[in-house]
Amino acid sequence: MKITVIGTGYVGLVSGVCYAEIGHEVVCVDKDSAKIGMLQAGEIPIYEPGLEKFIAGGRLADRLSFTTDLPSSVRRSELIIIAVGTPPLPNGEANLSYIDGAAQEIAMAMDGYKMIAVKSTVPVGTNERLADIIRSRTDEPFDSISLPEFLREGTAIYDTLHPDRIVIGAESEAAAHKMVELHSPLTDQLMVTDIRSAEMIKYASNAFLATKISFINEIANICEKVGADVLRVAEGMGRDRRIGPSFLKAGIGYGGSCFPKDTKALIQIAGHVDYEFKLLRSVVEVNRDQRFSVIRKLEKCFDGQLAGKTVAVWGLAFKPNTDDVRDTPALEIISRLLDAGVHVQAYDPVATDNFRLLLGREGVSWHGKAMEAASGADALCVLTDWEEFAQVNLGQLQASMKRPILIDGRNVFDEENMLNTGFMYDSIGRPS
């Protein structure tokens, strides 16, 4: 199939690459000519493990190309996939201006039948709105499809090539059939439904996963007070197949470009139909507060006297294997430390440049190695569960620090191992 993907962010780029990988002819379009220039030169504008092997070296060059020319690629394609951003507005609602803009440009370029699928996360009813925009600008025939995306950053290629399910929202049987054909090499878990339900499945799934995280974080907070171990509790809960073991990792809460935005957007969507989503409001509130557990633990270690201390921070990205710092808990934690007069020594394997720009203030020294960041520090806080942190030589780490205080915000270290070191070790939801 000839496919145009509009938007070369995580979703657009990874989807484009994966459709090309399973044999389709894909053009990825973006307005950002610098980004397109990079991609044409075989460079990748985002950090995503595994992506480079598809783009660099021109492995898919015969069927994957990049352009800023939306009209001609739309005309050449049977399927247009919209994967532009829907960043949050100040009130939490999704900003649909990029979606609307894409619809207008598609309509202006159309010269025959097209299937138009939306992969961006959009509120219920957006596909219909989009269809109205297109219909008001062209008489050419088209079918709307909602094609929600469930990939995770850091494992985006794997998730796209091995999805748990693919949800296809379509009113036209013929278009639904074509979408089933297109995706059946990837999975037999294909679900065809109406467009509004497909749009809702995306928000409901992310809201539910966020709920699992906030739930286990509250259980962790209680575990600390009653002397239970949240790791054991999550394992015991997860063995019940109705609960499942995933997304029960306690820590400093979720971040990233999806859960924070989508939970708030769903609260707004409910509000528009006069429904107060009380549970989800609490999920958001719990998540916001959870990140500060690291600060509270530090304050406890220093009797509330943080001013003048040097605190090392390992991990700035919202999760491992990504350089994405959008809504990363590290931002508020480090900002609060700086406000308290702390000097921060920070390290992340790949996200430092992005984080530095995001933070935009002085008071932090940036380091290229984990050990270097910890050197001379009064305490070390682990904020992202990068694999390399669990592998460090704890003896060497302790010797390099001024005081052996380790606050593990992601339960990276094995508690038993820590007992055999001289560290004052505190983690989330485990007896300290």
Report, in Å, the least distance between residue 399 CB and ligand UGA: 30
**Cβ burial, residue 283 (10 Å; 0-12/13-18/19+):** buried
| Closer to ligand UGA by Cβ: residue 85 or 404 | 85
Indicate whether 209 belongs to the interface with ligand UGA (CB under 6 A).
yes
Instruction: Select the residue interacting with ligand UGA from 5, 116, 145, 151 (CB under 6 A).
Output: 151
The yes or no reply on residue 318 touching ligand UGA (CB under 6 A) is yes
Q: Which of 122, 111, 112 is nearest to 145 (CA)?
A: 122
Among 149, 323, 348, 408, binds ligand UGA (CB under 6 A): 149
Q: Which is nearer to ligand UGA, 132 or 387 (CB)?
A: 387
Applying CB under 6 A, among 12, 16, 123, 256 the residue interacting with ligand UGA is 256
Q: Is 123 one of the binding residues for ligand UGA (CB under 6 A)?
A: no
* Of 362, 251, 342, residue with least CA distance to 301: 342
Would you count residue 206 as binding ligand UGA (CB under 6 A)? yes
| CA distances, 414 to each of 143, 389, 417, 426 (Å) | 53, 12, 5, 11
Work out which of 92, 123, 169, 251 binds ligand UGA, going by CB under 6 A: 251
CA–CA dist 13, 3 (Å, integer): 13
Q: Which strand (E) or helix (H) includes residue 364?
A: strand 364-366
Q: Phi first, then psi: give them for residue 198, nearest 5 degrees.
A: -60, -45
Do the Cβ atoms of 132 and 105 come closer than 8 Å? Answer: no
Based on its alpha-carbon atoms, the radius of gyration of the chain, rounded to whole angstroms, reads: 23
Select from 54, 66, 142, 259 the one that contacts ligand UGA (CB under 6 A): 259
Residue 76 has a CB neighbour count (10 Å cut-off) of: 12
* 323 contributes a contact to ligand UGA by CB under 6 A: no
Residue appearing with tokens 């090392």 = 312
Among 319, 326, 367, 430, which residue interacts with ligand UGA (rule: CB under 6 A)?
A: 319
Identity of the residue, 213 or 382, whose beta carbon is nearer to ligand UGA in the bound complex: 213
Residue 168 binds ligand UGA, judged by CB under 6 A? no
Element of type H or E holding 204? helix 195-226
Range 103-122, binding ligand UGA (CB under 6 A): 121
Q: Is residue 248 close enough to count as binding ligand UGA by CB under 6 A? A: yes
Q: Which of 18, 28, 258, 301 is catalytic?
A: 258
Identify residue 57 by its one-letter amino acid code.
Answer: G
Q: Is 7 in the site for ligand UGA (CB under 6 A)?
A: no
Q: Which helix (H) or strand (E) holds 346?
A: strand 343-347
Q: Between 150 and 277, whose beta carbon lies closer to ligand UGA?
A: 150
Q: Name the residue nearer to ligand UGA (CB basis): 130 or 252.
A: 252
Active site residue 258: yes
First to last CA, the chain: 57
Given the DSSP bridges, would you call strands 379-382 and 364-366 parallel, antiparallel or unpaired? unpaired
- Choice between 29 and 258, CB closer to ligand UGA: 258
Which residues have a catalytic role annotated?
Answer: 258
Question: By the criterion CB under 6 A, which residues form the site for ligand UGA?
Answer: 121, 149-153, 206, 209, 213, 247-249, 251, 254-256, 258-259, 262, 318-319
